Structure 1
Amino acid sequence: MSTPRTILTVFGTRPEAIKLFPLIHALEDDPRFRSRTCVSGQHRGMLDQVLEIAGVVPHHDLDVMQPDQTLDALTARLLTGLGAVMDLEKPDVVVVQGDTATAMCGALAAYYRKIPVVHVEAGLRSGNIHHPWPEEVNRKVIGSFAALHFAPTETAAEALRRENIDPATIHVTGNTVIDALHWITARIAQEPSLAQGLAGLEQRFAGKRIIGMTSHRRENFGEGMRGIADAVKRLAARPDVAVIFPVHLNPNVRAVMNAELAGLDNVALIEPLDYPHFARLIAISTLMLTDSGGVQEEAPALGKPVLVMRETTERPEGVAAGTARLVGTDADRIVAETTRLLDDTDAYEAMARAHNPFGDGKSSQRIAELLADRGLAG
């Protein structure tokens, strides 16, 4: 039997951990691989929650975050820290996911060592280098030299082909976030206690239609956040509506939301949720208001319409399929689009029943097979 190839999976944020733990499980269970993991700690508490529930114990933890750290300082620490891990592990392949600073720096550190880079969730493009910022450029950097591109959808694959990426290196796999959602939903069914922390809010808002909400994008800081807060305040004035809003830790989000929304009867500003509770929030919500990328993929898997509070999305498949709609950060538009879904049953059902274009829950196994078949050499 041939020697197992060492796969170093690099990640640092909560969304990366959610989208990579099913693949890490697949690699760990496969004798063809020696799976190693390195986390940067770009998110800390939120990252650790996912690692714990998923049973992933990293082999390396850089813990890079510092208060008020600039992007260039973070990039420098990531690049040197991840490079040192690669010098120690000498992996045959480095796997990165998505578009974070950790992913970009992990890919770049591997490239500097001539280690093949595998990009999970490749090919997402908004077409605007400032929206989302800096993620659009991060993923374009990775895409410029990755050895394998695992695109979640045909739309993402076509975006890569338009950039003259070798078609032989592009594979449509679906998105691993659907694998993760299926996994956690099954866990919650077996262990309901994993997601009982919302029971008090469910009881408090019994009989109301719950709007689940997230907001954290850098490009929305300032005027955008104020528009979002104004919209939520107006929506929450409806007696039949309640908003559950896990507020991101970033002070640019918290300061605005606490000033505008704290104390409103129909708004629950709560601490960020761990993964089981966030899956539960989607499940109990009528619809999701978000500027997140992952929620655009997750909510349709549970039949929940998504209103995306951004001007562009790198996930146009959801808009095309009818599972998501771009509404920007203008308060009037957010209120109008949300009201339409709340008051027009046909409009709601059209979004809720639309086919989720992002995957079938088997993406991680496809990726593992492709990694085994392709025979990438260090």
Structure 2
Amino acid sequence: MNKRKRIAIVVGTRPEAIKLAPVAHELSRTRWAQPVLVTTGQHGPVVHETLACFGLRAQVELTLPPGPHSVSDLTAGLLSGLGKGLSSPATHAVVVQGDTSSALAGAMAGFFSSIPVVHVEAGLRSGDLRSPFPEEAHRRMIAEVCDLHLAPTHAARRNLLAERVRADRILVTGNTVIDAVVSASRRAPVGDDPVPRRAARDGAPLVLVTAHRRENWGEPIRRIGRAVAILSHQYPEVTFVVAAHMNPLVRTALEESLPGRPNVQLPGPIPYDAFARLLARSILAITDSGGIQEEAAAFGLPVLVTRDNTERTEGIDSGIARLVGTDESEIVAAAEKEFAREGAPWGTGAANLPFVRRNPYGDGRAARRCAAACGWLLGLTPRPPDMPDIPMDLPKE
């Protein structure tokens, strides 16, 4: 008789696949857990492709009706599907990550079924319920129904304590994306790895650009694109890789604001291992992504955050990230400052200059702590210790 506990891991989006893949691997190494990956269909085939980068595949696959979905329709559909997906066979715990509609629906489905809910990356807060929208509301609602809060940093733990979450239900684990991105960046390319090779342009320094947040749709994303266009003219020796989101509204806005330039690349979705290698050799990231703010820190990579606020305050406090909003002149000025720090014009090998900033997001052992915490919640293993607080004592500019 199989005595392993069935742990449902809810994965709806590419970032969730990235951040939960190390947790699935660590749970599979235990004697007591049977991890079951449940994909919701929120981001479609790219989730399965991303899981495959880590040698994983879904055991339960849900589907969504084709076509665009409002936030309310998406959440309702996910909740209905997950409610059925968790009911049989018996599930002993539900693991959700972050703040997506899939995470919220997974937490609610677990709560409604009286299944313990574990929240990976708990406690992030921007302080503005409508920014990012709807993620800030999602993460606060998840906190109300979950049984174990796995905070990525001590700052996130303090946020939860301020909301009167019980201290004995919070564990500081570090962020699992550090585990994921370092592992992926070290993986040798299998076959053709076209994007990093094409973007390298004979050793040219790289700048990675992404834009996708809902509150930036439309004119803000066009301003980001125009800022990149200006920079590409000013710095023809730099390659700008604009990893356009799969959403056609986002991609169209970027393409319209970025006229053809020989040093601007607009690839489609990039496999995660290739993306991690690209990030590891970049000199700057310009992004509104929360995950990239964390991933970049694994390589000491400075980040210009094209948002008005961020729940990843540790990056701002450590000096590795800077809030610049979406005003094109602000983005250009901030990028010029980073390029000056790099010593433009660059000589050979400059793209590999090491940064000495600390990584405030973890030590690469977050997934191990997450798996051990699940065992503790179910009464099977001792409670693991919190990740040590990482000092952020390097001088800011």
What's the counterpart of residue 347 of structure 2? Answer: none
Of residues 343, 358, 365 in structure 1, which corresponds to 2:361? 358
How many pairs align?
373
Of residues 326, 336, 340 in structure 1, which corresponds to 2:337? 340
Shift of 1:273: 0.5
Shift of 1:262: 3.8
Shift of 1:134: 0.5
Residues 53, 350 of structure 1: CA spacing in aligned structure 2 closer, same or farther, 3 A cutoff?
A: closer
TM-score by length of structure 1 reads 0.94
CA contact (8 A) 1:116 1:376 kept: no
CA contact (8 A) 1:210 1:244 kept: yes
CA contact (8 A) 2:5 2:34 kept: yes
What's the counterpart of residue 77 of structure 1? Answer: 77
Matched residue SS, 1:149: strand
Alpha-carbon distance in 2 for matches of 1:168, 1:143: 14
Structure 1 residues 11-22: aligned runs within 5 Å: 11-22=11-22
Matched residue SS, 1:286: strand
Alpha-carbon distance in 2 for matches of 1:200, 1:249: 22
> Does 86-95 or 193-202 show the bigger shift?
193-202
Are 1:90 and 2:90 an aligned pair? yes
What's the counterpart of residue 24 of structure 1? Answer: 24
Q: Which has the higher helix share?
A: 1
Residues 55, 125 of structure 1: CA spacing in aligned structure 2 closer, same or farther, 3 A cutoff?
A: same
Matched residue SS, 1:69: coil
CA contact (8 A) 2:225 2:257 kept: yes
Instruction: For 2:190, give the aligned amino acid.
Output: S
Deviation per CA, 1:206-261: give whole Å up to 9, x if none.
35322111110000011211210110110000223221111111122111111121
Instruction: For 1:311, give the aligned amino acid.
Output: D
Alpha-carbon distance in 2 for matches of 1:282, 1:58: 27
What's the counterpart of residue 216 of structure 1? Answer: 212
CA contact (8 A) 1:41 1:65 kept: no
Residues 66, 218 of structure 1: CA spacing in aligned structure 2 closer, same or farther, 3 A cutoff?
A: same
> Does 241-250 or 1-10 show the bigger shift?
1-10
Alpha-carbon distance in 2 for matches of 1:171, 1:349: 35
Of residues 279, 282, 306 in structure 1, which corresponds to 2:276? 279
CA contact (8 A) 1:300 1:323 kept: yes
Residues 351, 65 of structure 1: CA spacing in aligned structure 2 closer, same or farther, 3 A cutoff?
A: farther
Alpha-carbon distance in 1 for matches of 2:125, 2:352: 28
Are 1:268 and 2:271 an aligned pair? no
Alpha-carbon distance in 1 for matches of 2:353, 2:310: 20
Instruction: For 2:279, give the aligned amino acid.
Output: I
Deviation per CA, 1:73-128: give whole Å up to 9, x if none.
11111001000011113211111000000000010011111111000000000011
Shift of 1:36: 1.5
Instruction: For 2:278, give the aligned amino acid.
Output: L
Alpha-carbon distance in 1 for matches of 2:36, 2:366: 20
TM-score by length of structure 2 reads 0.89
Alpha-carbon distance in 1 for matches of 2:206, 2:65: 34
RMSD between aligned alpha carbons?
Answer: 2.2
